[in-house]
Amino acid sequence: MLTVAVTGGIGAGKSTVSALLAELGAVVIDSDVLARQVVAPGTAGLAAVADAFGDGVLAADGSLDRGALAGIVFADAAARRRLEEITHPLVRAEFRRLRDAAGRRDPGAVVVNDIPILRSRTEAAEFDLVIAVVADEAARVDRLIRRGLTEADARARIAAQISDDERRELADAVIENHGDESELRAAVRHLWSDRIMPLATRTGPAHE
């Protein structure tokens, strides 16, 4: 089994890269999805978040009010770290469980973790290959506006994350996503054939 991290800031295109890798045969585990699951109603994660930030982050039905929580954590770095201290261990544990299950099903699997936050070499060392997806801020802002964010919100969310230079420092490979999807698709295919498949053949049965 080969484990690959695909990381990138909001609007950079990491989820598109992960989807393209899935088309090529990878098993993709999305940490954003896991982050929602670990704070679902009735979970210990949601209880911990409510205890840390108050009942104001809960909707009327008892689920997490993501807008209310975002309003707190994107404006306060300490609050954001506090949230990460609650959710990140839960997300990592669930990723490892799913990764191991994929490896049992197929010892030669390429397991991709679509992971927005990868901060340290210690975290990066958990993966056989780390891919950073980067894009200039103007392109990211434009993509986020098309998703429905205001320009101010888009820039605030970008500013709240680590920089692309920091991502490059942790990465084994970098995909520049400044152009259109055809260029991105070509870059992903090139990475799959030239970097991922050679590594995969050393860790398990070859993939087509």
Alpha-carbon distance 208 to 202, whole Å? 14
- H or E element, residue 5: strand 2-8
Q: Which helix (H) or strand (E) covers residue 53, if one does?
A: helix 44-53
What is the full DSSP assignment across 107-146? TT-EEEEE-S---SHHHHTTSSEEEEEE--HHHHHHHHHH
Average pLDDT over residues 110-124: 90
Closest CA to 14 of 130, 151, 155: 130
To the question of pTM greater than 0.85 for the whole model, the response is yes
pLDDT-derived band of residue 207, with 50, 70 and 90 as boundaries? very low
Domains of the chain: 1-26+109-201 (3.40.50.300), 32-89 (no CATH)
Evaluate if residue 159 carries a pLDDT over 60.
Answer: yes
User: Can you give the three-state secondary structure of 183-199, one letter per residue?
Assistant: HHHHHHHHHHHHHHHHH
| Beta-bridge partners for 137 | none
User: Each residue of 1-44: pLDDT tens digit?
Assistant: 999 999 999 999 999 999 999 999 999 999 999 999 999 999 99
